[in-house]
Structure 1
């Protein structure tokens, strides 16, 4: 596993982790990289064991053809661990990002999921440092957006944050 992922690879892995089917493709539209760069990056992720090939379904984006069968890519448990997400955690499908999706929008969507988000997941999705995520939560989220955030530790001891009203409605 690479010792450090760049922001682009981290964004690709975070995008896959946010999908219920864990598919890597298509890469987030917010990434402004060429097809050649995506191809090279995905090959590096494959070589590092962070993503793996799997048979493609009809609705999947095809990575390549192998022996006459379509193949796509999924994030592996190693890939999930590399971006700070516990393998086996059930992802909740978030809306597909469009070109206008901001980092703030990505974090708010993560905080609105029933399981919320950890600092590690938010840093993986945005490329921000942990202190920047914490600062955003106390500044922009609470003061400017008026979100009431709740912090709890899950069963594995990881601190997770979520929007209070959503969490209450999910528990009832």
Structure 2
């Protein structure tokens, strides 16, 4: 099994929730030689593929090839599989996302606490810190850390907090857009 760095895992995870499995834009702070090294290794392993960018859809460019053309990066099925995401499920979910805008995270390990947290936040009514703490047996600071760190920063999900008179502060994952 190939050992990937946290940065490479982050690139592939973000690509799995983007249309067409686009690997761009890269995480903040990753540029220059370090970006080329990370992408080069993943390309060599067959986890990332360089394809012609569709400029009509404003796809981000990895590099320009001249005469108004450029390339972008996409995560391959092997890349998604390397981080535990089922490529077939991602394709199916992409079709559903186009039909009905929802945030869907396809994971092979659905029983994890992170997966349970995402499921709670995807519900129409969302979840409060107290509800999450009761279900996951986490402390409130751990929940807030998971929301801001794992969900927002690492997975790139849009989590909002709303005040509800009956329940207090309610957290929800919003559709991308």
Short-chain TM bin: 0.5 to 0.7
Matched, 1:70 2:86: no
Query: Aligned equivalents of 2:113 and 2:5: distance in 1?
Result: 17
Shift of 1:40: 1.0
* Pair 1:144-2:129 in alignment: yes
Q: Which residue of the partner structure matches residue 87 of structure 2?
A: 87
Q: Could you tell me how far apart the structure 1 residues matched to 2:47 and 2:74 are? A: 9
1:53–1:33 CA distance, 2 compared to 1 (3 A): closer
Assess, with a 3 A threshold, how the Cα gap between structure 1 residues 133 and 72 changes in structure 2: closer, same or farther: same
- How far did residue 19 of structure 1 move? 0.2
Structure 1 or 2, whichever has the larger Rg, is 2
Q: Matches of 1:64 and 1:116 in 2, distance apart?
A: 29
Partner of 1:4: 3
Structure 1 match to 2:23: 24
Contact 1:10 1:83 in 2 (8 A): yes
CA distance in 1, matches of 2:105, 2:74: 22
Q: Supply the RMSD in Å over aligned alpha carbons.
A: 3.8
TM-score normalized with structure 1 length: 0.54
Q: Pick the aligned partner of 1:118 from 107, 110, 117.
A: 107
Q: Which of 26, 32, 35 is equivalent to 2:32?
A: 35
Deviation, 1:35, is 2.6
Distance between the aligned counterparts of 1:134 and 1:76, measured in 2?
Answer: 23
Count of residues in Structure 1 that have an aligned counterpart in Structure 2: 119
| Secondary structure of the structure 1 residue equivalent to 2:19 | coil
Q: Hey, what's the Cα distance between the residues in 2 that align with 1:76 and 1:9? A: 13
Within 1, Cα distance between the matches of 2:115 and 2:13?
A: 19
What are structure 1's unaligned runs of at least 5 residues? 93-111, 122-129, 150-165, 167-172
Normalising by structure 2, what TM-score? 0.52
Cα deviation for residue 60 of structure 1 reads 1.5
Name the one with the larger helix percent: 2
